[in-house]
Amino acid sequence: MIRKGPEGFGLKGLAAQNGNMEYEKMLSRLYMSLPEKTVSKERFEIPPLESNVQGKKTIIRNFSQVLRTIKREEKHFYKYFTKETATAATMDEGKLILTGKFYPDAIGRIFNAYVKEYVLCHECSKPDTEIIERSGVKVLKCTACGALSPIKKI
Protein backbone atom coordinates (compact mmCIF):
# COMPACT_ATOMS: atom_id res chain seq x y z
CA MET A 1 0.00 0.00 0.00
CA ILE A 2 1.48 3.35 -1.03
CA ARG A 3 0.99 6.14 1.46
CA LYS A 4 1.32 9.79 0.85
CA GLY A 5 4.25 11.24 2.73
CA PRO A 6 4.82 14.90 3.59
CA GLU A 7 6.49 15.42 0.18
CA GLY A 8 3.70 13.71 -1.77
CA PHE A 9 3.61 10.43 -3.66
CA GLY A 10 6.60 8.86 -5.43
CA LEU A 11 10.28 8.70 -4.54
CA LYS A 12 10.42 12.05 -2.75
CA GLY A 13 7.46 11.11 -0.59
CA LEU A 14 8.92 7.68 0.08
CA ALA A 15 12.29 9.16 0.98
CA ALA A 16 10.72 11.66 3.37
CA GLN A 17 8.56 8.89 4.82
CA ASN A 18 11.48 6.51 5.42
CA GLY A 19 13.80 9.12 6.79
CA ASN A 20 16.74 6.77 6.08
CA MET A 21 17.82 8.24 2.76
CA GLU A 22 17.36 11.55 1.15
CA TYR A 23 16.08 11.72 -2.39
CA GLU A 24 19.40 12.99 -3.79
CA LYS A 25 21.32 10.14 -2.16
CA MET A 26 18.90 7.61 -3.59
CA LEU A 27 19.18 9.19 -7.02
CA SER A 28 22.98 9.24 -6.98
CA ARG A 29 23.03 5.63 -5.80
CA LEU A 30 20.77 4.72 -8.73
CA TYR A 31 23.06 6.47 -11.22
CA MET A 32 26.08 4.70 -9.74
CA SER A 33 24.42 1.33 -10.36
CA LEU A 34 23.60 2.04 -14.03
CA PRO A 35 26.00 0.91 -16.77
CA GLU A 36 28.23 3.69 -18.08
CA LYS A 37 26.68 3.41 -21.57
CA THR A 38 23.24 4.29 -20.22
CA VAL A 39 24.40 7.27 -18.15
CA SER A 40 26.59 8.93 -20.77
CA LYS A 41 24.95 11.54 -22.94
CA GLU A 42 27.43 11.43 -25.82
CA ARG A 43 25.92 11.43 -29.28
CA PHE A 44 26.62 8.73 -31.80
CA GLU A 45 27.89 10.32 -34.96
CA ILE A 46 28.06 8.35 -38.13
CA PRO A 47 31.18 9.29 -40.04
CA PRO A 48 30.45 10.20 -43.66
CA LEU A 49 31.68 7.91 -46.41
CA GLU A 50 34.52 9.59 -48.30
CA SER A 51 34.15 8.87 -51.99
CA ASN A 52 35.40 10.13 -55.29
CA VAL A 53 34.69 9.31 -58.91
CA GLN A 54 37.65 8.23 -61.04
CA GLY A 55 36.66 7.65 -64.65
CA LYS A 56 33.89 5.06 -64.67
CA LYS A 57 34.53 3.90 -61.09
CA THR A 58 33.63 5.24 -57.69
CA ILE A 59 35.98 4.62 -54.78
CA ILE A 60 34.83 4.78 -51.15
CA ARG A 61 38.11 5.32 -49.32
CA ASN A 62 37.07 4.90 -45.66
CA PHE A 63 34.77 1.90 -46.16
CA SER A 64 36.37 -0.42 -43.54
CA GLN A 65 36.89 2.35 -40.99
CA VAL A 66 33.23 3.45 -41.09
CA LEU A 67 31.98 -0.14 -40.76
CA ARG A 68 34.20 -0.69 -37.72
CA THR A 69 32.63 2.45 -36.20
CA ILE A 70 29.08 1.16 -36.69
CA LYS A 71 30.16 -2.40 -35.74
CA ARG A 72 29.01 -4.21 -38.84
CA GLU A 73 30.70 -6.72 -41.12
CA GLU A 74 32.08 -5.48 -44.44
CA LYS A 75 30.45 -8.36 -46.30
CA HIS A 76 26.98 -7.47 -44.99
CA PHE A 77 27.15 -3.83 -46.09
CA TYR A 78 28.84 -4.87 -49.36
CA LYS A 79 25.86 -7.11 -50.22
CA TYR A 80 23.38 -4.37 -49.28
CA PHE A 81 25.21 -1.69 -51.25
CA THR A 82 25.63 -3.73 -54.44
CA LYS A 83 21.96 -4.73 -54.32
CA GLU A 84 20.79 -1.12 -53.81
CA THR A 85 23.00 0.28 -56.57
CA ALA A 86 22.56 -2.73 -58.90
CA THR A 87 26.24 -2.66 -59.77
CA ALA A 88 29.38 -4.74 -59.38
CA ALA A 89 31.89 -3.85 -56.68
CA THR A 90 35.15 -5.07 -55.17
CA MET A 91 36.76 -4.62 -51.77
CA ASP A 92 40.45 -3.77 -51.74
CA GLU A 93 42.58 -2.70 -48.75
CA GLY A 94 39.74 -1.12 -46.78
CA LYS A 95 38.23 0.54 -49.86
CA LEU A 96 35.08 -0.27 -51.79
CA ILE A 97 35.42 0.14 -55.56
CA LEU A 98 32.12 0.44 -57.43
CA THR A 99 31.65 0.09 -61.17
CA GLY A 100 29.81 3.25 -62.22
CA LYS A 101 29.56 6.87 -61.19
CA PHE A 102 27.94 7.44 -57.80
CA TYR A 103 28.16 10.87 -56.26
CA PRO A 104 28.50 11.48 -52.50
CA ASP A 105 24.86 12.49 -51.92
CA ALA A 106 23.57 9.24 -53.49
CA ILE A 107 26.08 7.15 -51.51
CA GLY A 108 25.11 9.02 -48.33
CA ARG A 109 21.40 8.31 -48.84
CA ILE A 110 22.04 4.59 -49.32
CA PHE A 111 24.34 4.45 -46.30
CA ASN A 112 21.83 6.30 -44.09
CA ALA A 113 19.08 3.89 -45.14
CA TYR A 114 21.39 0.97 -44.19
CA VAL A 115 22.11 2.51 -40.78
CA LYS A 116 18.40 3.10 -40.12
CA GLU A 117 17.47 -0.48 -41.03
CA TYR A 118 20.47 -2.51 -39.77
CA VAL A 119 22.24 -0.44 -37.07
CA LEU A 120 19.89 1.79 -35.07
CA CYS A 121 17.41 0.16 -32.69
CA HIS A 122 13.87 0.34 -34.04
CA GLU A 123 12.54 1.07 -30.53
CA CYS A 124 15.00 3.44 -28.81
CA SER A 125 17.09 4.57 -31.85
CA LYS A 126 20.39 3.82 -30.12
CA PRO A 127 23.27 2.29 -32.11
CA ASP A 128 24.04 -0.34 -29.45
CA THR A 129 22.79 -3.26 -31.52
CA GLU A 130 23.95 -6.54 -32.96
CA ILE A 131 22.54 -8.80 -35.64
CA ILE A 132 21.71 -12.26 -34.32
CA GLU A 133 19.86 -15.25 -35.70
CA ARG A 134 16.84 -16.47 -33.76
CA SER A 135 14.84 -19.48 -34.96
CA GLY A 136 16.22 -19.05 -38.49
CA VAL A 137 15.30 -15.35 -38.65
CA LYS A 138 17.86 -12.55 -38.44
CA VAL A 139 16.95 -9.98 -35.81
CA LEU A 140 18.42 -6.74 -34.56
CA LYS A 141 19.05 -7.07 -30.82
CA CYS A 142 19.46 -3.85 -28.85
CA THR A 143 21.90 -4.10 -25.94
CA ALA A 144 20.60 -0.81 -24.50
CA CYS A 145 16.84 -1.54 -24.22
CA GLY A 146 16.70 -5.29 -25.00
CA ALA A 147 14.35 -4.93 -27.98
CA LEU A 148 14.34 -7.54 -30.75
CA SER A 149 13.32 -6.45 -34.25
CA PRO A 150 13.28 -8.66 -37.34
CA ILE A 151 15.34 -7.27 -40.21
CA LYS A 152 14.95 -7.59 -43.96
CA LYS A 153 16.96 -10.25 -45.72
CA ILE A 154 19.49 -8.87 -48.17
User: pLDDT tens digits for 79-106?
Assistant: 999 999 999 999 999 899 999 999 999 9
Residues 15 and 49 in one domain: no
Residue 37: band (very low, low, confident or very high) from pLDDT cuts 50, 70, 90? low
Q: Does 110 share its domain with 132?
A: no
Domain, as residue range, for 102: 45-119
Determine the 3-state secondary structure of 58 from DSSP.
strand
pLDDT of residue 2: 47
Name the strand (E) or helix (H) holding 65: helix 63-69
- Looking at the fold, whether 26 and 60 belong to one and the same domain comes out as no
Q: Are 56 and 103 in the same domain?
A: yes
Q: According to the model, what pLDDT value does residue 20 have?
A: 54
Give the confidence band of 17 by pLDDT, cuts at 50, 70, 90: low
Give CA separation, 142 vs 32, 46, 71, in Å: 22, 18, 13
- Number of structural domains in the chain: 3
Residues 115 and 55 in one domain: yes
- pLDDT recorded at residue 78: 93
Are 11 and 77 in the same domain? no
Residue 35 in contact with residue 144, Cβ under 8 Å?
no
In a domain, 24, yes or no: yes
Angle at 29 between CA 8 and CA 126, to 5 degrees: 95
